[in-house]
Chains A and B, each alone.
Chain A
């Protein structure tokens, strides 16, 4: 079956612009996670959605970052007024229920110039 998909695969934006990154989880997966990987670093947790519960936003690095998940499926991660330090690969993952074994998408490489 189809895996987690993310779009765009690459995004180059100018400093100060807003960007939206999209994630389509595996159909039927109730849990959705966003991570980011900066150059030479491990994956950093950003936010976690589970069903209709309030999301765990504890990993969002600043109030410029926000995410939503509509209809319990597709999620968008929005970064406002992008900064150069936001350059990273943004990875989305989903799982059938809240669980550690998460299925990752290919990521969106964001470059802020």
Chain B
């Protein structure tokens, strides 16, 4: 049973436009959410996170939105750049545990 779901396996956007990556979760005990970015042959790198006490966190071109009632979060990248092309993983955790539960990832392609 997947507790964290990324239903779009891939997304293609034009350079300069907004990229929106979505993630849904089922476990209401999750209270911390993260996005990781992964290039081929490399390990995932931390991008941005949000605690359940917030509904938005922004870091430069990256913004994460959390809708607790819908158990949904999204990552917005504005403006998108070709270097953003990678696989993006959503992850979630409970305060009592530091193990991350990952979604299956969304492959983003930013076209020049």
Contact = CB atoms under 8 A, between A and B. Distances in A.
A100 B98 contact: yes
A100 B93 contact: yes
A48 B102 contact: no
B32 A100 contact: yes
Interface string A25-54: 000000101010000111111001010000
Given A100-B34, A100-B93, A103-B46, A45 B41 contact: no
B98 A98 contact: yes
Interface residues of B, number: 24
Contact of B99 (A48, A101, A103): A48
B100 interface: yes
Interface in B65-108: 89, 91, 93, 97-105
A6 B102 CA distance: 21
Contacts, number: 60
A99 to B, nearest CB: 6
A104 B45 contact: yes
Contact of A43 (B42, B93, B98, B102): B102
B49 A101 contact: yes
B43 interface: yes
Given A42-B89, A42-B105, A43-B89, A100 B100 contact: yes
11 contacts: A33-B100, A41-B104, A42-B104, A43-B102, A56-B99, A99-B98, A100-B49, A102-B100, A104-B44, A104-B45, A106-B43
Interface of A: 4, 31, 33, 35, 40-45, 48, 50, 56, 58-59, 91, 93, 95, 98-107
Given A42-B103, A103-B46, A106-B42, 9 more contacts: A33-B98, A41-B104, A42-B6, A44-B102, A48-B98, A48-B99, A95-B98, A101-B49, A104-B45
